Amino acid sequence: MGQQKKLLFVTDLDATFLDHSYSWAQAAPAILRLRNLGVPLVLNSSKTLAEMEDLAKALDLDSPIVAENGGLLAIRKERPGDYSVEIKGIPRSEILLAAHDLRRQLGYRFEGFADWTDQELAERTGLSVPQAQRSRSRLATEPITWNDTELHRLAFADALASHGIRMLQGGRFWHLMGSADKADGSAAALKYYQDREPDVDWVLVALGDSANDTAMLEAADIAVVIPHVDGPHITPNAPRVVHAPYPTSKGWNAAVLTILDEYC
């Protein structure tokens, strides 16, 4: 008799599970079905744990949360809203120490979240002050604005690399972070469930929309590509690739229900 198969869903948030107004309302039928079936859903985002906790609470999830691009895994404790945090990348304190030492010694011109107040970040990003506070609550990454030459940026990135720190370009900011990525976070979440139920053959389903999600999708058994309005932006090489029929939460809902129909 073979092992029992169970699904584990891991999802990106922005432009995947959340629409452009940050709503997941169109995914509500699939969320209800996941809950009724007892199928775990893990949130895996570049957002901070503080930013993701409210969403996890709204979704009534007790699953781990992967935050800051795989930089940390947060596991729910007995008490609601209380998490045990495992840093999977490099602690932010070490990233700040290395980056700020280089700035002080060599005069590199950059500013980051650690340099700004909640109010200053809110003014720079259009976030509310409480949102800015949650976004600044980082444990494994540091977003910065680079205000120096490209030649100096390359030298700065090389110096950081000697500390195991990467410098990756995001939409608005450069992100200083360790080597962990969303695929590492997804693997940590899968191991959490494998350790809890070792007799289960877990089928990992990952959902994402952008290049930042590609590694996570390629590490899954089933990769679900959520398209943008102009079509899909990624072509992951996974054992099985499913293309959602619509962008954001509407497409997420349709794809998840289709997979649940197949397996459950």
What count of Cα atoms within 13 Å lies in the side-chain half-sphere of residue 190?
23
DSSP state of 18: B
Look at residue 174 and give its three-state secondary structure.
strand
Rounded-to-integer distance, Cα 142 and Cα 112, Å:
7
Phi, psi angles (nearest 5°) of residue 94: -70, -40
Phi, psi angles (nearest 5°) of residue 240: -145, 130
Rounded-to-integer distance, Cα 11 and Cα 223, Å:
10
- The β-bridge partners of 108 are none
Question: Quick one: angle between helices 28-37 and 248-263, nearest 10?
Answer: 30
H/E run at residue 112: strand 110-112
Q: How many CB atoms lie within 10 A of CB 78?
A: 5
| Amino acid of residue 131 | Q
Of the residues 12, 118, 181, 209, which is catalytic? 12
Q: Which two tokens stand for residue 155?
A: 């030298």
Q: How many CB atoms lie within 10 A of CB 182?
A: 26
Active site residue 60: no
Task: Supply the residues annotated as catalytic.
Answer: 12
